[in-house]
A and B are shown apart, each in its own frame.
Chain A
């Protein structure tokens, strides 16, 4: 696969995104306002952070289904550490993110050390981490955070939502890491042919553990931002997040079989999904209706690439 085919997919997707934005702008006068677009960016951040690292995971040929549960667990722990253990909120959030990152490390460890397929390992930890969140919270929510904490999820810096800055920084760092460093190239090599990568002397297991740990970190960071945005913690937060993230990644042209993909593609995929959600809700269609569309898009996008690849081959 040359760079040209990559560009082609992303160019097509970017065109689709532009057409979609224009169509939505005509359809509703509320859509193309600065306030609405910035607000959509705010809503996109949590999925965005997770989807960027999910791109890495899927390029290595793996998958991480536990991200939604890590988000939920981090959210619960932030509240519990702060309210029940009496830690300062900053320390509580930091500690919760550390635990979430460790959850990601556990995924990577189980996958590399024991050779468990990523799908099964993260399906098990999806249940385990969500279960821990439910068990620890006992269905109680934690509210009443100090005002400064809401700056993260509800405030603005220079007129742009705070978390959007984080997403932008995250995206730039991730793009550079994936496209221009040795670690990034090893990630592609592992996804393209893991055995060959191993015999070429690449640190396969260490790279994979790092990628799953990063995925845990992204989900944990998204968890704290989520709490700050909605002002409360609940143990069911982030349910189904993995589906949104995987859809964005796959829609963005990353091969589900590994070895191919880019961060920029994922970002365009995110924009397409978020504007569809927003457009549908402005048209009066509920969130559940959007879930149907996301499911169809996920299957449709892969079916299309499979058919196109078959024709090319």
Chain B
């Protein structure tokens, strides 16, 4: 694909703020600060309009019920940072949830039912990663094909039936250690671990190099093929963990693909500040963006806007964020 010459992806802004801590925070985590501000603004505005929005039960629904999206967005962020994309993650989570639920009701020990989606997620994405990295097929084509295969396969095998009668010990998403729902703990811990790994470890940092400038990365001795393959496999593991949180939050699992899940996950990564051109962004941003979306979705209901507008709002948000990203990167004259 031919691309017109572009500005360097490196930030050349010099902090001029008198307070070095805030300047550093803004230059390293600018997008994250913007999202936190947006979340707070939303909570205050909607909370004033309808105080029930801030009730404990609604806040739990927003944070705990959508933690799996944030977890899936961690892996997606890594994929996008290396310059690729995955539109099959929603279908993958649907398939893995069905497998996990089926194992749980068939009497297998719960650790098998929890372990299977992680292992299988890694296996499926190993194939995807191999096709992208070594066979050099664009990730959009591979994952579009994979989405069709997974979605079609799932529905033709199960017919979209519901899995019910899940054993009680399987429901890890309903577990509340120290009074905090487990999905929230998992989301926070995984996000911080992934962010720390990507910032401080050679392998994590090399992902930015691969996405930012593949040629330079190669010249430095980084094998971009292996990094891309590894990233897809890691992404598969996160999809597996997301599956467990998703499959164990309700008493039943519907064996179809959750609609638009891949879009929500990609949007969380992009709005969280992961550049669509690869090479920059953090998983803290994507997790915050996932929370922001969940809050927007819930807020629409509390201000009496039909939920049918949700997708239009999300689509508009992606477009605006992407345009802002492009304008910010434009070479300054």
Contacts and interface: CB of A to CB of B under 8 A. Distances in A.
A190 B145 CA distance: 26
Contact of B3 (A130, A194, A296): A194
B5 A131 contact: no
A116 interface: yes
Interface string A191-209: 1111111100000000000
Q: Which of the four size classes fits the interface of chain B? A: 35 or more
B1 A258 contact: yes
Interface string B307-320: 01111111110110
Contacts, number: 156
Given A119-B85, A127-B311, A195-B4, A290 B152 contact: yes
B276 interface: yes
Interface in B26-40: none
Nearest to A299: B145
B148 A298 contact: yes
A247 B2 CA distance: 22
B125 interface: no
A258 B315 CA distance: 27
B155 interface: yes
B152 A288 contact: yes
B216 interface: no
B97 interface: no
Contacts of A43: none
A77 interface: no
Chain B interface main SS type? helix
Contact of A294 (B148, B156, B260): B148
A121 interface: yes
Contact of B148 (A61, A292, A307): A292
Contact of A116 (B146, B148, B308, B322): B322
Interface in B101-160: 131, 135-138, 140-142, 144-149, 151-153, 155-156
Interface of A: 61, 63, 110, 114-117, 119-121, 123-132, 134-135, 137-139, 190-198, 240, 242-243, 246-247, 250, 256-258, 285-286, 288-296, 298-299, 302-303, 306-307
Interface of B: 1-6, 85, 87, 131, 135-138, 140-142, 144-149, 151-153, 155-156, 260, 263, 266-267, 270, 276-277, 306, 308-316, 318-319, 322-323, 326-327, 330
Q: Which 5 A-B pairs have the closest CB atoms?
A: A131-B312, A291-B152, A128-B315, A127-B315, A194-B2
Given A126-B315, A128-B315, A295-B146, 14 more contacts: A110-B323, A115-B330, A116-B322, A124-B315, A126-B263, A127-B263, A127-B314, A135-B306, A192-B2, A258-B1, A285-B156, A292-B148, A298-B141, A306-B137
